[in-house]
Amino acid sequence: MLAKPPFMDDWKKIQEQLKNFRDERDWAQFHNGKDLALALSIEAAELNELFLWKNADDANVEKIKDELADVLGYALLLADKYDLDINQIMMSKIQKNADKYPVHKAKGNAKKYNEL
Amino acid sequence: MLAKPPFMDDWKKIQEQLKNFRDERDWAQFHNGKDLALALSIEAAELNELFLWKNADDANVEKIKDELADVLGYALLLADKYDLDINQIMMSKIQKNADKYPVHKAKGNAKKYNEL
Amino acid sequence: MLAKPPFMDDWKKIQEQLKNFRDERDWAQFHNGKDLALALSIEAAELNELFLWKNADDANVEKIKDELADVLGYALLLADKYDLDINQIMMSKIQKNADKYPVHKAKGNAKKYNEL
Amino acid sequence: MLAKPPFMDDWKKIQEQLKNFRDERDWAQFHNGKDLALALSIEAAELNELFLWKNADDANVEKIKDELADVLGYALLLADKYDLDINQIMMSKIQKNADKYPVHKAKGNAKKYNEL
């Protein structure tokens, strides 16, 4: 039997890169939870601006790459800040959403769970 | 030489789970790029609400897990929508930011690149 | 008794200016409700960016003027789009909030109404 | 000639109502500029949620009234916080936008000023 290969998972690799970037600039002092969340929402707005006044799929894909990367960057820094296991929180949330949106009620409509 | 180990990367595993969830509910019809980006920013606002009227680090961590997972969920669905390689866009953006924020200018201050 | 003086209310005066600006540029074609709301939230994010990584009151007031005016501009265009009477919706919402946040429960704390 | 009628302007009347509501609950202590701006953007996201997964004009107008009133409420509290003259900042911003978007360049297209 082969030994388990020496890989870190993807999130952690990117988180390490983001933290190196941050620490080279001595920016951890600014990265409290509130400002990281605020930064994330500002980047989300920049992502939305790519779609403003346009049909749903007319945004510039190269710019989407940049803005989505910014959103993900702050999301990963937040996860690191609170020492969250991303795979775990994702699987847990998908399970919660499965309970809120049972297939037989939610299939084919986009109503919010409290209106189903 | 050993064969490459049979692992999918993390992002892809979660993306598969999210797409299964979506497809069981026949929701792909609603998931155009514009509405996915909009949904992401709405979840980002819910994340921010956990910090509203509070000191920077007084938010409830259990709720942060839920809202951050929602943000990441839409981010991963957007990446899938545009067939983006997340590792690639993240590394590319970190490089761009390194150019915009050279260490000798950015160290220890939080100014925006166009004010450095 | 004097006749009521011939004044238009303030909101309407500004709405007229905004609509003139819009129509000179033939922009009404882009101003559906969804994109106006999206534009409003993007301007709200630009307003928030003035506070990012800063103490609560360290933002540049001249820039706040500009960004707040952008937010108000889209808010007034949305009100016009749906033919809303701003004084009426404001007074109605203040009354609703008074019911959600009774003084004896809400005084001195910042909890959300569903946690009071 | 008649004396100028004794009216306060509309914004000020609503601001007074909002401040009475705030002060009865002793909430001024939470209303620093950063959190007011954050609250505004959270309400803007709730407004956007009314349009999510929908065609541009399918939102519920009664709910738009409520969410738009929330946005305007925080905008007016911010203006009061910084002692801004709303009519003045609006007219000033419309003039700036007229310079950024000259009619002959902007007419009939929705490009951002830096792409005109």
Rounded mean pLDDT, A59-68: 97
The fraction of chain B above a pLDDT of 70, given in percent, is: 92
Distance from the D85 Cα atom to the nearest Cα atom in chain B, whole angstroms: 26
pLDDT of residue B11: 87
pLDDT tier for residue C4 given thresholds of 50, 70 and 90: very low
Distance CA A83, CA B58 (A): 15
pLDDT of residue A22: 97
CA dihedral sign of residues C34, A59, A44, B23:
positive
pLDDT of residue B9: 66
Rounded mean pLDDT, D1-23: 75
pLDDT value at C5 more than 60: no
Answer whether A33's CB lies under 8 Å from B64's CB.
yes
pLDDT of residue C9: 66
The fraction of chain B above a pLDDT of 90, given in percent, is: 81
pLDDT value at B82 more than 60: yes
For chain B, the C-alpha Rg in angstroms (whole number) is 18
Q: Do A48 and C35 touch (CB under 8 A)?
A: no
pLDDT value at B95 more than 70: yes
pLDDT of residue B28: 96
Tell me the per-residue pLDDT of D45-84, one tens digit each, with 9 for 90 and over: 999 999 999 998 899 999 999 999 999 999 999 999 999 9
pLDDT value at C84 more than 80: yes
pLDDT tier for residue C15 given thresholds of 50, 70 and 90: very high
Provide the mean pLDDT of chain C: 91
Rounded mean pLDDT, B15-35: 96
pLDDT of residue D1: 41
Fold classification of D29-96 is Helix Hairpins (1.10.287)
Answer whether B98's CB lies under 8 Å from A21's CB.
yes
Interface test with A, best of D53, D101, D109, D111 (most A CBs within 10 A): D53
Interface test with B, best of C41, C51, C109, C115 (most B CBs within 10 A): C41
Distance CA B9, CA A14 (A): 13
Tell me the per-residue pLDDT of A3-24, one tens digit each, with 9 for 90 and over: 444 445 688 889 999 999 999 9
Provide the mean pLDDT of chain A: 91
pLDDT value at C56 more than 50: yes
Any A CB within 8 A of D38 CB:
yes
Q: Do A34 and B59 touch (CB under 8 A)?
A: yes
CA dihedral sign of residues A96, A99, A105, A108:
positive
Tokens 């005066």 sit on residue: C13
Size of interface B-C (CB pairs under 8 A): 8
Chain C partners within 8 Å of B51 (Cβ): none
Distance from the A3 Cα atom to the nearest Cα atom in chain B, whole angstroms: 10
Provide the mean pLDDT of chain B: 91
pLDDT value at C53 more than 50: yes
pLDDT of residue C116: 85
Sequence spans of domains, chain A: 29-96
pLDDT of residue B2: 45
Any A CB within 8 A of B56 CB:
yes
Tell me the per-residue pLDDT of A36-50, one tens digit each, with 9 for 90 and over: 999 999 999 999 999
Tell me the per-residue pLDDT of B5-22, one tens digit each, with 9 for 90 and over: 444 568 888 999 999 999
Distance CA A78, CA C4 (A): 58
DSSP letters, A13-35, are HHHHHHHHHHHHTT-GGG--HHH
pLDDT value at D5 more than 80: no
Closest residue to B42, CB basis, from D35, D39, D48: D48
Give all chains having 3 or more CB-to-CB distances under 8 Å with chain D.
A, B, C
pLDDT tier for residue D114 given thresholds of 50, 70 and 90: confident
Size of interface A-D (CB pairs under 8 A): 8
| Collapsed DSSP state (helix, strand, coil) of residue D9 | coil
Q: Do A64 and B75 touch (CB under 8 A)?
A: no
Chain C partners within 8 Å of B53 (Cβ): 110
Any D CB within 8 A of A41 CB:
yes
H-run or E-run covering D80:
helix D61-81
pLDDT value at B65 more than 70: yes
pLDDT tier for residue D11 given thresholds of 50, 70 and 90: confident
Q: Do B110 and C53 touch (CB under 8 A)?
A: yes
Chain C partners within 8 Å of A38 (Cβ): 48, 51-52
Torsion, Cα B16 B17 B22 B28, to 10 degrees, reads -10
Torsion, Cα B96 B81 B50 B64, to 10 degrees, reads -90
Q: Do B37 and A56 touch (CB under 8 A)?
A: no
User: Minimum mean pLDDT among A55-59, A78-82, C63-67: which range?
Assistant: A55-59
User: Minimum mean pLDDT among B98-102, C3-7, D10-14, D112-116: which range?
Assistant: C3-7
CA angle C90, C94, C96 (to 5 degrees): 115
Any A CB within 8 A of C36 CB:
no
Q: How far is CA D82 from CA A109, C90, D42, in A?
A: 45, 21, 20
pLDDT of residue D91: 93
Nearest CA to D75 out of D11, D4, D1, D6 is that of D11
pLDDT of residue A1: 41
pTM here is: 0.93
